[in-house]
Structure 1
Amino acid sequence: MDIDKLVKQRSGIKAKLTNFEKYIAMLSSSKFISELQRIDLEGRLSKFEALYDIFDALQMEIELASANPENEYVERNQIEERYHSLIANARSQLRTSGSECKGSKTGTTMDSKSGASLKNGFVRLPKIDLPHFDGGYQCWLEFRDTFISLIHNSDCIDGINKFHYLRASLKGRAAE
């Protein structure tokens, strides 16, 4: 195959590295990774890991066809360093996100029917609806206290999602 075509294909792989790098940077800037983002990262990481074999075969062809393979070895090294750094960063993100909110889901709890302790078990609690605020002064303290305890003080919800929960809780005059 023509070396120019091979180099263009390698450029496509480098673009995928850059896109994945931007995605990882976006996740790193977030205080918390949601379950949806975690699943998305797992899928992207799986596809990204498969990219290495394609790169390796392509780079081998470029090195064999090149008149100056030393430059291609340097290029290989740079791309591999970036690739492995991104893989490590993504795995670290997954590991960290998996342990951030586990404290609220595990531990010792009491079974309400028998009084028995459930080690690392889940207790099915009733659904808590978010409070609504329509702008009335008489409802403000109840709304504020409930919203702060459920949403605002939660370390498992990032800032933008807290804002969306707040907007969804406002009704009538307060929503305007």
Structure 2
Amino acid sequence: MDLVQLKRKRGNVKSSLTKFATFVGTYQRGDSKAETELRVRLEKADNLLDRYEEIQDLIEEMDETELRNATESRKEFEDTFYGVISRARNFLQGNSCQSNSVQGCSSHTESIHMKNIHLLALTLPKFSGEYTDWLPFKDAFLSAVHNNDKLTSSEKFRYLRSSLQNEPLNLLAALETSNENYSLAWNMLKDRYENERLIIHNHLKALFDLPNKCWKRKSL
């Protein structure tokens, strides 16, 4: 796929997010039909960030100008995405609030949700496929994301994918980011890397390599 096609696909993703944001901006509480439509649209919009990042990665590999402006363009899309997704979720959650406190309930929930999203994005560890790193990564991810009942499975999958690099990321490449696929993705990683024999082997190998490294430093 050439650069023009990639930019066209990125434009389509941005357009989809804009259309969703427009719908959310005109959403009226109390309309059961609109609420159903919002749920359907939200489910489809959940994977827009992943699609954008995949396309943006390819564009940056082909265009140095895009690479120089990557931080700003990515931040702009992420801020829009998280803002509109949070607002849509709070509209749906806000239906359970009493009518005289809907606005306060919604704004408070959105504030907490946004803070949690940015906090998780900053603190999640990265896993690149080293067996010696699997257990520390697993424990940290279980604590921060997997066992967090305030996150949907789709959100957990998004955090999981953003925490992976190299081989583990490629392992999940064929899976769409969705509620249904999160458990499958997590179990695939466990089956691949939670190998006690290989974990012990790699720990021992790292220990035996230490004297050689120290000897090389001394000889220098």
TM-score by length of 2: 0.42
**CA distance, structure 2, for counterparts of residue 13 and residue 100 of structure 1:** 36
**CA distance, structure 1, for counterparts of residue 70 and residue 8 of structure 2:** 14
Instruction: Name the counterpart of 1:96.
Output: 94
Instruction: Name the counterpart of 1:78.
Output: 76
Instruction: Name the counterpart of 1:140.
Output: none
**CA distance, structure 2, for counterparts of residue 9 and residue 74 of structure 1:** 19
**CA distance, structure 2, for counterparts of residue 87 and residue 47 of structure 1:** 11
- CA offsets, 1:63-84, max 9 Å, x none? 1111220213321111111011
- CA offsets, 1:115-168, max 9 Å, x none? xxxxxxxxxxxxxxxxxxxxxxxxxxxxxxxxxxxxxxxxxxxxxxxxxxxxxx
Residues paired across the two proteins, number: 98
Gaps of 5+ in 2: 100-220
Matches within 5 A, 1:116-131: none
Gaps of 5+ in 1: 102-176
Displacement of 1:53: 1.8
**CA distance, structure 1, for counterparts of residue 78 and residue 88 of structure 2:** 15
Instruction: Name the counterpart of 1:26.
Output: 26
CA 7–98 in structure 1, closer or farther in 2 if over 3 Å, else same: same
Instruction: Name the counterpart of 1:43.
Output: 40
- Is 1:4 equivalent to 2:4 in the alignment? yes
Letter in 1 for 2:91: Q
**CA distance, structure 1, for counterparts of residue 61 and residue 74 of structure 2:** 13
Matches within 5 A, 1:131-142: none
**CA distance, structure 2, for counterparts of residue 100 and residue 47 of structure 1:** 28
- CA offsets, 1:74-95, max 9 Å, x none? 2111111101111111011111
Quote the sequence identity (%): 24
- CA offsets, 1:45-72, max 9 Å, x none? 0100022221111111111111220213
**CA distance, structure 1, for counterparts of residue 60 and residue 30 of structure 2:** 40
- Whether the 8 Å contact between 1:62 and 1:72 is mirrored in structure 2 is no
Superposition misfits of 4+ residues, deviation over 4 angstroms: none
Letter in 2 for 1:23: F
**CA distance, structure 2, for counterparts of residue 15 and residue 46 of structure 1:** 16
CA 87–52 in structure 1, closer or farther in 2 if over 3 Å, else same: same
TM-score by length of 1: 0.52
- Is 1:56 equivalent to 2:40 in the alignment? no
Pair member with larger Rg: 1
**CA distance, structure 1, for counterparts of residue 88 and residue 30 of structure 2:** 12
